[in-house]
Amino acid sequence: MKNVRVIDSPVVLMNLCTMRDKNTDSQGVRIATRKITRCLLYEASKNLPLVERDVTTPLTTFKAKTVDPDINLIISPILRAGLIFTDEAIDILPQACIRHIGMYRDEETLKPVWYYNKVPMDAPNPEKFYVYITDPMLATGNSLLEAIRLYTDKGIPIENIKCICIIAAPQGIENIHKNFPEVEIITASVDEGLNEKGYIVPGMGDAGDRIFNT
């Protein structure tokens, strides 16, 4: 599938198996999920521009590569389940800022309803912005679409935006790529599809409920 990167290393698969299992308790789901988020974030970070800086080791001075400190890196979790990415994200990408996006899914229409938006109103030098939108479940893709639009409306290049989802439904991927063919989706699994209530099958059930024990 074009612009879908499936990260199915054994470490990811082992933790995916744990988080899907209905007998895994909430703490177990959180631990397994965080491990996967870290692997997916590592993959996403491959698009970050590098610069060289002089570093002195105990042996010599040389030019070492590091992430360009002048970029604006945004992690944008879609509330509430997307929050599970944030601790790992600021741990491995300390220069990132977290811009929360609050949307819930109307259970009848399956359309997103806004309730919170912490995305900046303007982005000078938009080409210097890199955005990772995080949501463990890519189901219909409607919330993710709204989130992508928030950033493209500010002029941020679509190649600089990545969607990081642990489990994706083919319908959601199609919906995103119909509107933004160039956006890359990084996921641990493309599942069979959606049921009549919009849940991913086999999926993991309601990610927010399972992560937050509600």
212 binds ligand URA (CB under 6 A): no
Q: Does 77 bind ligand URA (CB under 6 A)?
A: no
42 is a contact residue toward ligand URA (CB under 6 A) = no
Q: What does the alpha-carbon distance between residue 187 and residue 166 come to, in Å, rounded to a whole number?
A: 5
Judge whether 176 and 186 are in contact, CB under 8 Å: no
Q: Is 24 a catalytic residue?
A: no
Contact status: 200 vs ligand URA (CB under 6 A): yes
Establish whether 209 is a catalytic residue: yes
What is the separation, in whole angstroms, between the first and last Cα of the chain?
35
Contact pick of 89, 137, 165, 185 for ligand URA (by CB under 6 A): 137
Q: Tell which residue, 72, 76, 118, has the closest CA to residue 95.
A: 72
Alpha helices (H) along the chain:
10-20, 26-44, 86-92, 142-152, 170-179, 207-212
Concerning whether 8 is annotated as a catalytic residue, the answer is no
Is the CB of 52 or the CB of 192 nearer to ligand URA?
A: 192
Question: Quick one: which of 52, 153, 174, 206 contacts ligand URA (CB under 6 A)?
Answer: 206
206 is catalytic: yes
Which residues sit opposite 91 in a β-bridge?
Answer: none
User: Does residue number 203 form part of the binding site for ligand URA (CB under 6 A)?
Assistant: yes
Question: Which residue is associated with the tokens 């086999």?
Answer: 202
User: In the complex, what is the shortest distance from the CB of residue 209 to ligand URA, in angstroms, rounded to a whole number?
Assistant: 7
Cis check for the bond before 120: say yes or no (omega within 30 of 0).
no
Q: Which residues are catalytic?
A: 105, 109, 206, 209
| Residues making contact with ligand URA (CB under 6 A) | 81, 137, 139, 199-200, 203, 206-208
